[in-house]
Structure 1
Amino acid sequence: MSSLRIAANELRRLSAGTLPKLALVALVLVPLLYASLYLYANYDPYGRLDKLPAAVVTDDAGATGPEGRPRNVGREVTDELVGSGTFQWHEVSAERAADGVRDNDYAFSITIPGDFSAALLSTGDLTPRQATITLTTNDANNYLAGTIADQVAEQVRATIAEKVGSEAADRFLIGFSTIYGRISEAADGAARLADGAADLRDGQQRLAEGAHQLAGGTTELATGLETLRRSTADLPEQSRRLADGASQVADGNARVAQAGALVADGSADLQRGLDDLNERLAQRLRDSGLDESQVRKVLSELGQLRQPVDDADAKIQQASGQLDTLADGARQVADGAQQLAGAAPALSDGIASAADGAGRLRDGAAELDQGEQAALAGSRELADGAATLRDGLAGGLAQIPHPDDPTRAATANTIADPVAINSVGLASAGTYGAGLAPFFIALATWIGAFVLFLLLRPLSTRALTAGAGPLRVALGGWLPAALLGVAQVLVLFAAVAWLVGIRIAHPVLAVGFVVLASLAFTAIVHALNALFGAVGKFLALVLLVLQLVSAGGTFPWQTIPDPLYPLHVVLPMSYVIDGLRHLLYSGASPRILGDVAVLLAYLVGALAVSALAARQRRVWTVNQLKPELAL
């Protein structure tokens, strides 16, 4: 008896009658009912969140922004939430929101407190406070709803932080622009100050040179008058002798008259020189930037110092006239000599006074020269300092950010949200249901294999009693389940792709892979039933549970407890899920070959176990004839 004949006999047994035929149809549809309905119900729950009711409470009283403009950020946030349509938002009171979340009228609520805007805008007054949004959830309603609410609240927080941060950064950059403008004005003023200081330095240089020349001239004047005073120190005595001996004066009269004329001419030259010096000094003072009142004040003080010289000049001119009269009338020498004797002391005193005044004028001019030199040094320091200030402000101005409006807005947005996420998906499931499809298709395939052996007999008793080979008996008992399993997979994939609408990247390869998985699963369940009998059904159910918790169908398998890691590596459903993920989302990755190899190994190994069980069943025992437990 061949394996195909054994399989055909088993199929005829199951299809003999209406109810058995309906039972076969039901067995084929079990995976469809399990996987397709579940995937249909959970195809895209996130796309229907607008049906989920949520409450928002807005108690924000608003605040005044840094520009003096009233703001109500809470109202802005509420309007954006309600207008987004992400949830079925209801703007209600705090009491209604609390009651609604408790009574499951709302999945969650978001409460914006009264000081929300004031806290957000407090950074402008350098009194920062965190703004708080209250999220109220109730896991008694639905745990995932609370998880989704946490994500929504975080998105709201991030959006508000970015918005407020952009505004704060924009004000910060505007402050830089204001500083830039003020520093620019200061730099312009410093440039003008540097130019004025340079002009002052140049004028002070010229004034110092004039003061130095004045000091030199007054020194020469003082020296000459001192010499004149020494020269005329004996004049009164000589005048007395002249008066006493007028007859002796005639011989020296010409020389005296000549000397008097020379003195008068020198004094006159001195007066003209002083007048010219006064004019030059006044002009230099005006050129140095002094106003007319200051120039007149300096000339007035210089005139006071010059007064003794003027007095001496008058006396010299008077004496010169007297000497001329003496020279004109030799006969009148006695009278003139008597007059000269009377005037000589005054002349001597005048010359002494002029010499003293010239000395004081020399000392004053020296002090003026020293003062001008000091002023020149100060003006040089002022010019250097002004130039340094100008250059420093110009250099500092170049370091201050001064962006235009678009650049400032872009910079503010970057400061508020410095990191962007560029999501690159190597493969995308698209929807929640598509993401769970590999897990539930694999699970449905195992369940389909499990229910088949509720009706199918793992080993043909007739073939065993007829002495058929163990391998033929094993294959004959497995083939009906394999055929029905393939039918289950084809129906399941048709419903998943056409009715549920899950997109499959490589449908032919995916169907072939799941057919292989069904063959392996039916072989495993067949081996358990063949080897252990009724207990095998229980073991197949235990394996189902173990694979549910270790296959990593929902969360990544690395997140399961460490003791379950060996189960993930050993059990076949892990490899079915891994292969389906590649075939449904991206393509035939080389690692799928490893998954295929594992399933083939399970298939061959399970058939070998079934053959071993068939070999053992050729010897009948009491337990086989009358089992203690029948399922």
Structure 2
Amino acid sequence: MFKDFHALRKHPVLFLSLIVILFLPIIYSAVFIYSMWDPYGQTQDLPIAIVNNDEGAKIQGKEENLGNRVIDKLKENDDFKWEFIDSKKAKNGIEKGDYFAVIEFPKNFSDDASTMLNPNPKHMEMHVQTNPGYSYSGQSIGDKSIQAVKDNISLSLRELYLKKIFGSIKDMRGQSQELATGLKKMEKAELDLANSSKQVDSGLAKTQAALPPLQNEQFNQLITGSNQITGGLNKLAENTNQITQNIDKSLKQTDNLSFSKENAMTISDPVTTVEHNVTKVENYGQSFAPYVLSLSLYIGAIAFVTIYPVDKRVGESKSAVNWWLNKLGLMVTHGLLQGLFLSLFTQYVIDIEIANRGYFTLTLIVWSIAAVLIVSFLVAAFGNIGKFLAIILLILQLGSSEGTFPIQLTNKFFQTLHTYSPMTYVIKALRESIFDFEGNIPINTAITIIAIIGIVAGCLLYFAYLSRLNLKNIRLNTRDLD
């Protein structure tokens, strides 16, 4: 059972090579994880060009330059490396890759902004240039800068208009209060005038009684006119009172409302996001780790079969079981050490925060052994063609294991393969152990599936050796080892 181990003692070059490739997954994982550790946390170093050609305009009765307003806000924003330059420098810079986005405010930027309350308001234009051919990922991150600028434009515009509108409302309320006070004084004066008119009516009536009959008819017309004036004055006082009551009622409805600048600012930017995430991801490297770790162990398995001739036996044994057990012992040992070393390196050198270290280590070890057995079976069964098949299997897993984008964003072919891809379950188990949640496949189930895949590969490896037992040129010799 230990013939392969004893053979390695006699061939130090091969033994040293196997020791070296034990660390291949570590090297692979370290390079990839460190290179993409926190790209979204480094956007403050991503250069974004701002070109302001805005000539300004009168907005709500006041000269404004909205482009300058937005720039003032961006100077307080450290999400990106904002560079405020002219059009010529921006054009050259976007082509050379000096900037990942160019955002330009045209000369009529504020002029269009001044039409928001016109019968035919104009949409403001913001000219944007990107160069995805130079760096698609950089341009994708740069798209967030465009949204940030749009948000600042909207905020600035809302502030301008709401402050003016709220100021007008405050003035109108003050004027309404003054009008109500004036109307109350006018109503009092009208009532006083009506009372005086009544006294005049009474005096006229007494005078009429003392006049000769011939003059009564003319005097009667005078009394009728005076009575009409008195009635009109009373009616005017009633109407004035009704208007005053309506104004008081309207003012009372706004007693608890405030129209200050602070209110305008709050309404212009009313929403504060409070996040309650199911899991917490520190950075992009941590989120990408499950994919890279599972991939690196499979690559380590390919390196193992490339270095060590798993399709040849040591000695004269004619038993397939003996051949299988000798190889199996070395394969399991290599897989166990490879997975264990990668787990320790990830936890204590890369220093990724892991919620369940036990499950994390177990997943890596089980997958490492399973990957070695899968690739070893393919090589033992098909020779060099098996190495090619192992690479094809890797490629299929890259597209179907949901390591980067959600599987729903891939085509139907890879969505169908998703369920049958071993790395699917490795990535799910690693994510659950790192971020401490239970996905659609619980971690115990995922590890069990990986283990079953490894056991099946191990059993198929036995049958591969059994089928090749009596073939020539499958015995290990010095040249195969050194």
Report the TM-score when normalising by structure 1.
Answer: 0.69
| Alpha-carbon distance between aligned partners in 2 of 1:464 and 1:71, rounded to the nearest angstrom | 93
Residue of structure 2 equivalent to 1:398? 252
Tell me which amino acid in the other structure corresponds to 1:579. A
Map Cα deviations across residues 331-363 of structure 1 (whole Å, 9 max, x no partner): xxxxxxxxxxxxxxxxxxxxxxxxxxx122222
- Unpaired runs of 5+ in structure 2? none
Cα offset for 1:417?
2.9
Q: Residue 91 of structure 1: which of 84, 95, 112 is its match?
A: 84
**Alignment partner of 1:409 is 2:261:** yes
Check 1:435–1:375 CA distance in 2 against 1; reply closer, same or farther (3 A cut): same
Q: Residue 456 of structure 2: which of 605, 624, 628 is its match?
A: 605
Q: Residue 300 of structure 2: which of 432, 448, 465 is its match?
A: 448
Cα offset for 1:495?
3.1
| Alpha-carbon distance between aligned partners in 2 of 1:464 and 1:364, rounded to the nearest angstrom | 153
- Secondary structure of the residue that 2:349 maps to in structure 1? helix
- Secondary structure of the residue that 1:503 maps to in structure 2? coil
Residue of structure 2 equivalent to 1:18? 12
**Alignment partner of 1:499 is 2:353:** no
Residue of structure 2 equivalent to 1:544? 394
| Alpha-carbon distance between aligned partners in 1 of 2:199 and 2:325, rounded to the nearest angstrom | 124
Residue of structure 1 equivalent to 2:425? 575
In the TM superposition, 1:402-441 aligns within 5 A as 403-404=257-258, 408-441=260-293
Check 1:475–1:428 CA distance in 2 against 1; reply closer, same or farther (3 A cut): farther
Q: Residue 217 of structure 2: which of 345, 360, 363 is its match?
A: 363
- Contact in 2 for aligned 1:14/1:24 (Cα 8 Å): no
- Contact in 2 for aligned 1:180/1:401 (Cα 8 Å): no
Percent identity, please.
24
- Secondary structure of the residue that 1:43 maps to in structure 2? coil
Q: Residue 378 of structure 1: which of 213, 232, 236 is its match?
A: 232
Cα offset for 1:622?
7.4
**Alignment partner of 1:55 is 2:49:** yes
Tell me which amino acid in the other structure corresponds to 2:86. S
| Alpha-carbon distance between aligned partners in 2 of 1:146 and 1:468, rounded to the nearest angstrom | 57
Check 1:608–1:107 CA distance in 2 against 1; reply closer, same or farther (3 A cut): same
| Alpha-carbon distance between aligned partners in 2 of 1:383 and 1:464, rounded to the nearest angstrom | 126
- Secondary structure of the residue that 1:422 maps to in structure 2? coil
Residue of structure 2 equivalent to 1:157? 150
Q: Residue 138 of structure 1: which of 120, 127, 131 is its match?
A: 131
Residue of structure 1 equivalent to 2:174? 181
Cα offset for 1:198?
2.5
Cα offset for 1:432?
1.5
Cα offset for 1:63?
3.5
| Alpha-carbon distance between aligned partners in 2 of 1:604 and 1:435, rounded to the nearest angstrom | 29
Residue of structure 1 equivalent to 2:23? 29
| Alpha-carbon distance between aligned partners in 2 of 1:424 and 1:35, rounded to the nearest angstrom | 31
- Secondary structure of the residue that 2:342 maps to in structure 1? helix
**Alignment partner of 1:596 is 2:447:** yes
| Alpha-carbon distance between aligned partners in 2 of 1:398 and 1:376, rounded to the nearest angstrom | 33
Residue of structure 2 equivalent to 1:555? 405
- Contact in 2 for aligned 1:180/1:402 (Cα 8 Å): no
Cα offset for 1:559?
0.9
**Alignment partner of 1:110 is 2:103:** yes
| Alpha-carbon distance between aligned partners in 1 of 2:471 and 2:333, rounded to the nearest angstrom | 31
Cα offset for 1:101?
1.7
Cα offset for 1:155?
0.6
Tell me which amino acid in the other structure corresponds to 1:514. L
- Secondary structure of the residue that 1:200 maps to in structure 2? helix
Q: Residue 141 of structure 2: which of 142, 148, 153 is its match?
A: 148
Tell me which amino acid in the other structure corresponds to 1:94. S
Root-mean-square deviation (Å): 2.9
- Contact in 2 for aligned 1:56/1:110 (Cα 8 Å): yes
Cα offset for 1:423?
2.3
- Contact in 2 for aligned 1:506/1:587 (Cα 8 Å): no
Residue of structure 1 equivalent to 2:340? 490
Cα offset for 1:107?
3.2
| Alpha-carbon distance between aligned partners in 2 of 1:206 and 1:366, rounded to the nearest angstrom | 16
- Secondary structure of the residue that 1:454 maps to in structure 2? helix
- Secondary structure of the residue that 2:51 maps to in structure 1? strand
**Alignment partner of 1:196 is 2:48:** no
Q: Residue 201 of structure 2: which of 197, 208, 224 is its match?
A: 208
| Alpha-carbon distance between aligned partners in 2 of 1:621 and 1:166, rounded to the nearest angstrom | 84
Map Cα deviations across residues 160-213 of structure 1 (whole Å, 9 max, x no partner): 211221231121111111111111111112222222222333333343344344
- Contact in 2 for aligned 1:108/1:145 (Cα 8 Å): no
| Alpha-carbon distance between aligned partners in 1 of 2:45 and 2:337, rounded to the nearest angstrom | 38
Report the TM-score when normalising by structure 2.
Answer: 0.88
- Contact in 1 for aligned 2:102/2:128 (Cα 8 Å): yes
| Alpha-carbon distance between aligned partners in 2 of 1:459 and 1:474, rounded to the nearest angstrom | 10
Q: Relative to total residues, which structure has the larger helix share, 1 or 2?
A: 1
Cα offset for 1:401?
7.3
- Contact in 1 for aligned 2:100/2:139 (Cα 8 Å): yes
| Alpha-carbon distance between aligned partners in 2 of 1:371 and 1:106, rounded to the nearest angstrom | 87
- Contact in 2 for aligned 1:36/1:492 (Cα 8 Å): no
- Contact in 2 for aligned 1:187/1:390 (Cα 8 Å): yes
- Contact in 2 for aligned 1:527/1:613 (Cα 8 Å): yes
Residue of structure 2 equivalent to 1:289? none
Check 1:486–1:42 CA distance in 2 against 1; reply closer, same or farther (3 A cut): same
| Alpha-carbon distance between aligned partners in 1 of 2:73 and 2:197, rounded to the nearest angstrom | 71
Tell me which amino acid in the other structure corresponds to 2:156. K
| Alpha-carbon distance between aligned partners in 2 of 1:159 and 1:83, rounded to the nearest angstrom | 11
- Contact in 2 for aligned 1:457/1:477 (Cα 8 Å): no
Tell me which amino acid in the other structure corresponds to 1:394. D
Check 1:475–1:82 CA distance in 2 against 1; reply closer, same or farther (3 A cut): farther
- Unpaired runs of 5+ in structure 1? 222-357
- Secondary structure of the residue that 2:274 maps to in structure 1? coil
Q: Residue 566 of structure 1: which of 400, 416, 428 is its match?
A: 416
Check 1:450–1:121 CA distance in 2 against 1; reply closer, same or farther (3 A cut): same
Check 1:18–1:559 CA distance in 2 against 1; reply closer, same or farther (3 A cut): same
Cα offset for 1:80?
4.5
| Alpha-carbon distance between aligned partners in 1 of 2:169 and 2:55, rounded to the nearest angstrom | 31
Check 1:371–1:63 CA distance in 2 against 1; reply closer, same or farther (3 A cut): closer
| Alpha-carbon distance between aligned partners in 2 of 1:507 and 1:429, rounded to the nearest angstrom | 16
**Alignment partner of 1:388 is 2:381:** no
Residue of structure 2 equivalent to 1:478? 328
Map Cα deviations across residues 296-324 of structure 1 (whole Å, 9 max, x no partner): xxxxxxxxxxxxxxxxxxxxxxxxxxxxx
| Alpha-carbon distance between aligned partners in 2 of 1:430 and 1:372, rounded to the nearest angstrom | 90
Check 1:382–1:71 CA distance in 2 against 1; reply closer, same or farther (3 A cut): closer
Tell me which amino acid in the other structure corresponds to 2:252. A
- Contact in 1 for aligned 2:301/2:368 (Cα 8 Å): yes
- Secondary structure of the residue that 1:453 maps to in structure 2? helix
